């Protein structure tokens, strides 16, 4: 049968009827498909969830329609009391440790702490890491929304020849075409992949804030430590210079007796040797003093310079006789490095759910709309008519799509195992951090307590040796003892004085170690500080106000008491931020 020519009137109606029937059929099929699409997607979800992956349907619903385990803080070993809890100098009350360095009652130390807080460069680096984590968290939140939102445009100028056959369709030899479009693609978070990514980013931000606090605690402890060392070296030098003067007097006595002929040259040589041996300790102590001075300058964020002229004279800061150590369980909420380790484990736990989401299809909604128009001539009037005139061509599409990684040869499963192994590693690191924190406190306590006893006994020994030196010198002048006995007693005095200075400095160092191990001092970023001494010259000026610029970016954290930690680690049920809600700025 030959087709009817379309230009005949009797055939034109039949052609229109066939076109109308075809369009109606297509419209009906599309309407039925749209009506069945939600049902098909629902059936697909019901079939997919229990048949693949590591998360069962009940757990998937219980987790808020998210794959992977919900996090819960793992248990951490903690003793009930400190080893020296029975010592009356160790109080179990939890005092305010936000300004623990003020217990030394040393205004110079207070000023150094404030200047280090305002100018230290390591602390600024930690602040920048917080800003990086905040930006990463904002990116993770943005991924929850449509990933592709693109506006496209195109312009073409065409030239057609009028000398070709069948040129009746060429209306103009030259014309332009403008095309505009918009593409949208939104991956629906059926499996919680993006929500788990937001959880991980939030926990990583928390960990970065805790890292900042940990760096701050370490900084304050280092400033106090090196300041105490500097004062201890100064005291040791002062003691050595005193004993050098005493040994010079002994040398003069030996020389006078040698000239008088009451003793031999051996006494003079022996006395001079003892003096020179003691004087040799001065350069060694000056080396340690300069190194402590230089390290203090670095902590203050300035080039190394002589600080003693600005610090002024001063003895070893006097520490109180007792310390408020609280109980070991307080470390879980006090120590920023412990909280950082716990938050890192929480961030890694969410990565397990992200890895499990790769077992399932990625369901997206995509859409495109395009508008095209043309003008016969490239003139301003023609272009304006094209832009504001009625559309000459408009098309678009929208619909669901999916991508499913199949035949992955175990890559997805092993990635899940990898993320789970990393989580277990971080859990062990968190538990080890708790043990290390308790060890640090115990080491600081035993140093602080035993150094007091050592200093007391050493002071009594120095008093006795000073009396012995007076007695033996008097006897040497009378000729009842030889110089060897004098030299032995004086050398003992030199050693005792040096040990006394070290013991007194060790008391402050032990107390500093305790407070640093307890995690005190990070609260200064919430309250700021006020300088009470002239800042050292040569370094970058501190930012305006009493808080550094990188610290003012951090809002105050919200601390809540730690929740029950007795549950099994395998459940990993997520609490409110693991018990520590930390600051997160709006993106």
Let me know whether 384 and 290 are in one domain. Answer: no
β-pairing verdict for 393-403 and 558-559: unpaired
For residue range 329-373, what is the model confidence (pLDDT) as tens digits?
888 788 999 999 999 999 999 999 999 999 999 999 998 988 877
What's the pTM value of the predicted model, to 2 decimals?
Answer: 0.77
What is the span of the domain harbouring residue 33? 22-51
Average pLDDT over residues 133-154: 88
Buried b (16+ CB within 10 A) or exposed e, 185-208: ebbebbbbbbbbbbbbbbbbbbbb
Average pLDDT over residues 391-417: 85
Q: Could you tell me if residue 520 is inside a domain? A: yes
Cα dist. 242→278, 282, 403, 490, 563 in Å?
Answer: 11, 11, 84, 11, 58
Domains identified in the chain, total number: 3
Range with lowest mean pLDDT among 65-69, 177-181, 258-262, 390-394: 390-394
Q: What is the pLDDT at residue 379?
A: 56
Let me know whether 182 and 226 are in one domain. Answer: no
The enclosing domain of 240 has a CATH number of 1.20.1600.10
Let me know whether 493 and 442 are in one domain. Answer: yes
What are residue 91's DSSP bridge partners? 324
Q: Could you tell me if residue 579 is inside a domain? A: no
Q: Could you tell me if residue 285 is inside a domain? A: yes
Q: Could you tell me if residue 66 is inside a domain? A: no
Let me know whether 92 and 224 are in one domain. Answer: yes
Neighbours of 6 (CB within 10 A): 8
Let me know whether 151 and 132 are in one domain. Answer: no
**pLDDT of 550 higher than 90:** no
Q: What is the pLDDT at residue 80?
A: 87
Q: What pLDDT band is residue 408 in, cutting at 50, 70 and 90?
A: confident
Q: Could you tell me if residue 15 is inside a domain? A: no
Q: Could you tell me if residue 408 is inside a domain? A: no
β-pairing verdict for 580-581 and 558-559: antiparallel
CB of 69 within 8 A of CB of 352?
Answer: yes
Q: Which of 335, 370, 403 is the last residue of a domain?
A: 403
Q: Could you tell me if residue 209 is inside a domain? A: yes
110's tokens? 């207070």
Let me know whether 369 and 352 are in one domain. Answer: no
Let me know whether 176 and 317 are in one domain. Answer: no
Cα dist. 299→162, 198, 485 in Å?
Answer: 83, 36, 47
Q: Could you tell me if residue 295 is inside a domain? A: yes
For residue range 435-455, what is the model confidence (pLDDT) as tens digits?
999 999 999 999 999 999 999
Q: What is the DSSP string of 26-62?
A: HHHHHHHHHHHHHHHHHHHHHHHHHHSSS--HHHHHH
Let me know whether 126 and 240 are in one domain. Answer: yes
Q: Which helix (H) or strand (E) holds 195?
A: helix 193-260
Let me know whether 354 and 369 are in one domain. Answer: no
Q: Is 112 helix (H, G, I), strand (E, B) or coil?
A: helix
Let me know whether 178 and 210 are in one domain. Answer: no
Let me know whether 231 and 264 are in one domain. Answer: yes
The enclosing domain of 169 has a CATH number of 2.20.200
β-pairing verdict for 90-91 and 148-159: unpaired
Let me know whether 131 and 46 are in one domain. Answer: no
**pLDDT of 29 higher than 50:** no
Dihedral sign (CA 7, 10, 15, 16): positive
Q: Which of 343, 374, 403 is the last residue of a domain?
A: 403
Distance linking the first and last C-alpha atoms of the chain: 70
């Amino acid at each position: 049968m030959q087709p009817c020519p379309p230009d005949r009137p009797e055939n034109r109606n039949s052609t229109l009827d066939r076109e109308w029937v075809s369009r109606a059929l297509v419209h009906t099929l599309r309407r039925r498909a749209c009506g069945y699409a939600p049902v098909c997607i629902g059936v697909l979800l019901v079939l997919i969830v229990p048949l693949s992956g590591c998360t069962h349907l009940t757990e998937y619903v219980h987790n808020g329609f998210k794959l992977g385990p919900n996090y819960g803080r793992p248990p951490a070993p903690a003793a009930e009391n400190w080893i020296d809890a029975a010592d009356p100098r160790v109080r179990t009350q939890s005092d305010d440790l936000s300004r623990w360095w003020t217990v030394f009652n040393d205004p110079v130390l207070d000023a150094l702490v404030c200047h280090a807080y305002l100018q230290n460069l390591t602390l600024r680096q930690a602040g920048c890491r917080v800003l990086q984590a905040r930006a990463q968290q904002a990116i993770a939140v943005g991924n929850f929304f449509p990933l592709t939102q693109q506006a496209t445009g195109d312009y073409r100028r065409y030239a057609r020849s009028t000398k070709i056959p069948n040129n009746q369709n060429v209306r103009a030899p030259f014309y332009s075409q403008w095309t505009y479009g918009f593409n949208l693609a939104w991956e629906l978070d059926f499996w919680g992949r993006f929500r788990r990514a937001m959880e991980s980013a939030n926990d990583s931000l928390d960990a970065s804030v805790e890292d900042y606090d940990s760096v701050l605690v370490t900084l304050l402890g280092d400033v106090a430590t090196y300041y105490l060392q500097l004062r201890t070296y100064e005291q040791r030098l002062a003691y050595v210079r005193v004993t050098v003067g005493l040994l010079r007097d002994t040398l003069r006595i030996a020389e006078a007796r040698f000239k008088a002929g009451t003793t031999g040259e051996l006494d003079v040589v022996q006395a001079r040797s003892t003096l020179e041996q003691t004087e040799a300790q001065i350069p060694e102590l000056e080396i340690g003093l300069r190194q402590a001075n230089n390290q203090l300058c670095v902590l203050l964020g300035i080039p190394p310079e002589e600080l003693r002229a600005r610090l002024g004279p001063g003895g070893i800061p006097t520490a109180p006789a007792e310390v408020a150590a609280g109980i070991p369980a307080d470390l879980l909420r006090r120590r920023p490095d412990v909280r950082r380790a716990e938050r890192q484990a929480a961030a890694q736990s969410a990565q397990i759910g992200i890895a499990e989401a790769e077992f399932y299809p990625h369901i997206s909604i995509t859409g495109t709309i395009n508008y095209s128009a043309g003008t016969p001539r490239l003139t301003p009037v023609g272009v304006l008519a094209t832009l504001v005139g009625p559309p000459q061509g408009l098309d678009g599409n929208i619909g669901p799509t999916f991508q499913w990684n199949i035949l992955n040869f175990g890559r997805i499963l092993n990635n899940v195992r990898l993320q789970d192994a990393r989580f277990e590693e971080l859990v062990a690191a968190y538990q080890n951090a708790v043990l290390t924190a308790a060890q640090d406190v115990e080491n600081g306590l035993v140093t602080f307590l035993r150094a007091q006893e050592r200093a007391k006994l050493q002071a009594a020994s120095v008093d006795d040796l000073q009396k012995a030196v007076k007695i033996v010198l008097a006897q040497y002048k009378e000729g009842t003892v030889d110089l060897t006995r004098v030299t032995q007693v004086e050398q003992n005095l030199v050693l005792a004085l040096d040990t006394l200075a070290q013991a007194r400095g060790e008391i402050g160092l032990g107390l500093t170690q305790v407070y640093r191990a307890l995690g005190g001092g990070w609260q200064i970023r919430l309250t700021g500080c006020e300088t009470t001494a002239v800042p050292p010259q040569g370094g970058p000026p501190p930012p305006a106000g009493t808080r550094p610029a990188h610290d003012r970016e951090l809002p105050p954290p919200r601390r809540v008491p730690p929740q029950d930690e007795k549950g099994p680690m395998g459940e990993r049920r997520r609490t409110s931020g693991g018990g520590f809600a930390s600051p997160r700025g709006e993106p």
